[in-house]
Structure 1
Amino acid sequence: MTITKQDELDGLKEIGRIVANTMLAMSKSLEPGMTTRELDEIGKALLEREGALSAPQSSYHFPGTTCISVNEEIAHGIPGDRVIAQGDLVNIDVSASKNGYFADTGSTFRVTPVAPALDTLCRDGRRAMQIGIEQVGNSRPLSGIGNAIGRFASDRGYTLIRNLASHGVGRSLHEYPEEIATWPTRGEKRRINKGLVLTIEPFLSTGGHWATDGNDGWTLYSEPHAPTVQYEHTIVATDRGAIIVTLPS
C-alpha cells in the first residue's frame, strides 16, 4: 500500500495502535505456568473489543488469533497446550485488520530468569530492527535495509534467517513489494517510494540460517537449531524517514 491521503494514514495508525496495545498487554500477562492458548485468548479478547480481525485467521485460516512461538519455534507457532516456563523465549506476533487496514507487529520476550546471552540477543535483535527502520525513506534503496542489518549482525557474530523476510502491508497482510530481504542481497534494484507501507522484521540468530517447516503445517524452526529472536514494526516511508505506526498508546 502507498499512503496518499491523511485518512489512510489515520486508518493505518488506528490498527497499528490496536495491534501494539494487544501485544503489550499479552506480554504483561506472560508468566510461567500459563499455556500459549491462554495467552492467545487474551489477545483474542482485546482484538474483539476493538472491533479488529485477526489477520492470520482471516487471510490464511491460521488456527489461532496470534502467533506464539516458544524457544525452538521461531515463527508461526500455533497457540495450544504448551506450558510456558522460566527461561523461555516467547515470540508474540500480532497482526490484524480494521476498516480495511492491516498492521503487523511482533517481539520476543524473556521469561526470567534467562541466561545473560539471551538478554544480549534480545537487545541486539531489537537494535537490528531499529537499524533497518533507519534505512527507510523516500527514494532510498530497498537493499539498504538488508545491507545495514547484515553489517550489524556480522560485526557481532550473529546470523540472520534468510527465508523469513519483511513485506509490504496495509490493505492486506502481505502485498507489494512482497518479500524485502533483511540480509545482504545482490540484484535488488527497487527503491522505496513515498508513502510505502512495509514491515521491518529481522530474525537474528546465534547460528540459524533458514526457517524449516514443522509437522503441523505452520510452525517454523531454525536450521541449524539456534536461539533466534524477531522484532517487527509496521512503518510508512516519508521524505524524512519512517513513521512507525505500531506503537502502543
Structure 2
Amino acid sequence: MGWRSRGVEIKTPEQVDVMRRAGLVVAAALEALRAAVRPGVTTGELDAIAEDVIRTAGATPSFLGYQGFPASICASVDDEVVHGIPGDRVLRDGDVVSLDCGAIVDGWHGDAAVTVPVGTAPPELLTLARDTEDAMWAGIAAARPGRRVGDLSAAVEEHLRSVGDYGILEDYTGHGIGSQMHQPPDVPNVGRRGRGTRLVEGIALAVEPMVTLGTADTVLLEDDWTVVTADGSWSAHCEHTFALTDRGIWVLTAHDGGEERLTALGAPYGGR
C-alpha cells in the first residue's frame, strides 16, 4: 500500500476490492437489523443478530473489543447520539435508534450506520432521519480527486442548514478507514471548501453526520462511551464508507455501491 499526505493510507485497487467485501458484510448486517427493529426488541438482541450475520459471512466485528467496547454494534436510542452500548434496553413505539456497525475481512474494514424509526415515530423524527441521510449523500457526492476534505464537510453542513434548524455535532466526525477502522484524516460535518486533506484516487473515508433536533452540545455518560444530547433532544446518525477509484466514487457499504444516489446527485459512480 502507499502512504501520503500526513499519514493518510492510500489503497491499491486490490485492497479497495477487499474493503468492498467488508462493506457488503456491513450492508447485510444493517439490512438484517432494519428488519428486526420493532417495539419490544432489545438492543442486545439486535447486537446478537448483527454479530451472527458478520461471523456467518466469515468476517469479524470491528467494534467488539475496540478500545474495550463490549459489543458488535453501537445502538443509540432517542437522545443517545452515538456509541450506545447494546443491552437490555427495550425499544418502544415512537423511538428512533441509530445502528452503527463495522466488519473486518482479511484485515480491511467497512463501517456504516443507519437511523431507524421504531413503530410509528413522530413526523419530525422521520424528517430528521431523512435529512441526515441526505446530508451524508451530499458529502459523499462532493468527493473528487484534487478536492479536499473540507469540500465534503461543507456539503454536509450546507445541506443541513438549508433544510432545518438542526444541531450538527462538531466534536465527533467521520474518518479515514482501511487497515484500521479509524485513521487520518478526520471528516468533520461542518467546514469550509478548499480546506483539509487533498483527495486522491485510493483514499477511503467514512462520512457520518450526527444531527440533533436541538443544540449540538453533548454529554458523555459514565460508561465512557454513550454520547447523549445535553438538552435531551433526539438525534440521528448516518454513515457510509466510500473509496475514490479511477472511475469515481464507490460506496463500499451500499449494496449497489451508491450508484442510484450518486447518479441522482450528478456524481461519478466508480464501482467495479
TM-score (norm 1): 0.94
1:190 to partner: Cα distance = 2.4
1:144-163 equivalence runs, <5 A: 144-156=151-163, 157-163=165-171
Corresponding residue number in structure 1 for 2:138: 131
Q: For structure 2, which runs of at least 5 residues remain unmatched after alignment?
A: 1-8, 257-272
Corresponding residue number in structure 2 for 1:92: 99
Deviations 1:150-192 (A, max 9, x none): 1222222222111110100010000122x21111259934211
Tell me, yes or no, if the aligned pair for 1:36 and 1:68 is still in contact at 8 Å.
yes
Q: Structure 2 residue aligned with 1:13, among 2, 20, 45?
A: 20
Corresponding residue number in structure 2 for 1:174: 182
Tell me the distance in 1 between the aligned counterparts of 2:96 and 2:146. Answer: 37
Corresponding residue number in structure 1 for 2:126: 119
Tell me the distance in 2 between the aligned counterparts of 1:64 and 1:212. Answer: 21
Tell me, yes or no, if the aligned pair for 1:19 and 1:103 is still in contact at 8 Å.
yes
Tell me the distance in 1 between the aligned counterparts of 2:47 and 2:54. Answer: 11
Matched-pair identity in %: 31
Tell me, yes or no, if the aligned pair for 2:84 and 2:226 is still in contact at 8 Å.
yes
Cα distance change of structure 1 residues 217 and 138 upon mapping to structure 2, 3 Å threshold: same
Q: For structure 1, which runs of at least 5 residues remain unmatched after alignment?
A: none
CA RMSD, Structure 1 to Structure 2 (Å): 1.7
Q: Structure 1 residue aligned with 2:59, among 52, 76, 80?
A: 52
Tell me the distance in 1 between the aligned counterparts of 2:246 and 2:90. Answer: 46
1:221 corresponds to 2:228: yes
SS of match in other structure, 2:64: helix
Cα distance change of structure 1 residues 48 and 189 upon mapping to structure 2, 3 Å threshold: closer
User: Which one-letter code corresponds to 2:62 in the other structure?
Assistant: A
Deviations 1:184-225 (A, max 9, x none): 259934211211011011112222313321011111112333
1:101 corresponds to 2:96: no
Tell me, yes or no, if the aligned pair for 2:148 and 2:194 is still in contact at 8 Å.
no
Higher relative contact order (CA 8 A, sep 6+): 1
Q: Structure 1 residue aligned with 2:172, among 136, 159, 164?
A: 164
SS of match in other structure, 1:188: coil
1:239 to partner: Cα distance = 5.2
Larger deviation: 11-20 or 142-151?
142-151
1:177-188 equivalence runs, <5 A: 177=185, 179-185=186-192, 188=195
Corresponding residue number in structure 1 for 2:266: none
Corresponding residue number in structure 2 for 1:206: 213
Larger deviation: 44-53 or 185-194?
185-194
Corresponding residue number in structure 1 for 2:147: 140
Tell me the distance in 2 between the aligned counterparts of 1:189 and 1:74. Answer: 25
SS of match in other structure, 2:233: coil
Cα distance change of structure 1 residues 186 and 248 upon mapping to structure 2, 3 Å threshold: closer
Corresponding residue number in structure 2 for 1:190: 197
Cα distance change of structure 1 residues 209 and 18 upon mapping to structure 2, 3 Å threshold: same
Tell me the distance in 2 between the aligned counterparts of 1:58 and 1:101. Answer: 16
Tell me the distance in 1 between the aligned counterparts of 2:74 and 2:156. Answer: 24
Deviations 1:55-113 (A, max 9, x none): 12243221111111111111111111100110010111001211011010000000121
Task: Name segments (4+ residues, structure 1) moved above 4 Å.
Answer: none
